[in-house]
Amino acid sequence: MTSSSPMPTERLTVRLTPAAKRVLQAAAAADHRSVSQFVIDSALARAEEALSIRRNFGIQAQKWEAFMAALDAMPRDLARIEKLFERPGVFDSEGK
């Protein structure tokens, strides 16, 4: 942890098997880190990986162009939707 990092104040408690604990202890020792730091670093790396999949996605150029064209296109006339919006809603009739 760098000196500019805030001191951790939150606690996370987990239950694990003795075998899992031994594996984590061995891995942390091999990395010359505490078990806590090893688990935190590993969990955060995995969390970033899981979130990046949802934040970034690749698309082929041709599909990107089609996607952008669809966004830029004028909306289609949807008669059923227009008809729905012409009817008063449940809140429009209250208080009258």
| 8 A C-beta contact, residue 35 and residue 28 | yes
Q: Which whole number is the average pLDDT over 3-17?
A: 87
| pLDDT tens readout for residues 13-70 | 999 999 999 999 999 999 999 999 999 999 999 999 999 878 777 889 999 999 999 9
Q: Whole-structure pTM over 0.75, yes or no?
A: no
Residue 76 CA, chain-centre distance (Å), reads 32
CA distance 85 to 95: 20
Question: By the 8 A CB rule, do 38 and 31 touch?
Answer: yes
Specify the DSSP element, H or E, that contains 84: helix 79-86
Mean pLDDT in residue range 3-19: 88
- pLDDT score at 46: 95
